[in-house]
Copies of this chain bind each other. A is one copy, B any other.
Amino acid sequence: MSTESPATRDRILDTAERLFGQQGFSCTSLRQITDEAGVNLASVNYHFGSKEELYKGVLIRRLRPINEERIKLLTQAEQLADEQPVPIRSILETFIRPLLRHATAGSAGGIAFLRLISRDLTDPQPFMTAEMVREIDPLIERYTKVLTKTLPGIPLAELFWRMQFTVGGILYAAAHQRDFERISCGLCRGDDLEGCLRRLIDFCTAGLEAPLSDFAGRLATQSGSDAGPVHP
């Protein structure tokens, strides 16, 4: 059983990943996928059952190894820290690097996957959320715990917010990396993975360990330009 005819199945997965990433789930038709993959229309339903199951397959195929590597790296970092708090930079790197690495390695659909995962988290497909929560919830728990230890001064609620901002920045950057080149008039290279990683870590580290502001009415009106720490 399952000797060797994954050619069709894999071609479908690769093509679907690319097209779902470029156009989204509902804007991509099975006919377009099968045409570009060079396979028969019915083979999707044969191998995956439905379009939605195909979508799940595409997402899980990449997401699971990414999250497994995150946990692995985080565990390593904790062991290396030896009961001491793990530096934020290390925590962030265990979170971001597997995403960027897996997504850009392997078949050409990698960069498309970044858009896909970004899209699905920004705008979840109803039939996907259950699967997604099951995949991500353990991660949230682990990262919350290790971050709490590293940032004991930040209240938990505050930390949750900042983790969300972090994820938002990461996803947006990952999905639009290629576009930055146009927006910045060539200043930002679209394929500079290490550069993107470093900048994300710089930015999010500062954001996560930012001092709590005393917000005594400063934001109450639209004046909002008095006080506040200014860079030197």
Tell whether A66 is near chain B: CB-to-CB under 8 Å.
Answer: no
Contacts of A173 in B (CB 8 A): 161, 164-165, 168
Contacts of A122 in B (CB 8 A): 118-119, 122-123, 171-172, 175
Tell whether A166 is near chain B: CB-to-CB under 8 Å.
Answer: yes
Provide the A116-151 mask, 1 if CB < 8 A to any CB of B, else 0: 001100110000000000000000100000000011
Task: Assess the A80–B225 pair: CB atoms within 8 A.
Answer: yes
Complex Cα gap A62–B73 (Å): 44
Task: Assess the B202–A204 pair: CB atoms within 8 A.
Answer: no
> How many copies of this protein are present in the complex?
2
Complex Cα gap A158–B195 (Å): 10
Contacts of A94 in B (CB 8 A): 224
Complex Cα gap A212–B201 (Å): 11
CB distance from A68 to the nearest CB of B (A): 14
Complex Cα gap A206–B228 (Å): 12
Contact A93 B224, CB 8 Å, known A168-B168, A188-B160, A213-B198: yes
Contacts of A228 in B (CB 8 A): 87-90
Interface size on A, residues (CB 8 A): 79
Task: Assess the A172–B180 pair: CB atoms within 8 A.
Answer: no
Contacts of A1 in B (CB 8 A): none
Complex Cα gap A153–B210 (Å): 19
Provide the A208-220 mask, 1 if CB < 8 A to any CB of B, else 0: 1111110100011
Indicate which residue in B115, B198, B201, B210 contacts A206 across the interface (CB closer than 8 Å). Answer: B210
Tell whether A61 is near chain B: CB-to-CB under 8 Å.
Answer: no
Contacts of A151 in B (CB 8 A): 231
Complex Cα gap A211–B198 (Å): 12
Task: Assess the A207–B207 pair: CB atoms within 8 A.
Answer: yes
Contacts of A209 in B (CB 8 A): 206, 231
Sorted from nearest, which 7 A-B pairs have the closest CB atoms? A168-B172, A206-B210, A165-B169, A203-B207, A90-B225, A89-B228, A207-B207
Q: A207-B207, A209-B231 are known; give 7 further A-B pairs, CB within 8 A.
A: A88-B228, A97-B219, A122-B123, A164-B169, A164-B173, A165-B203, A202-B213
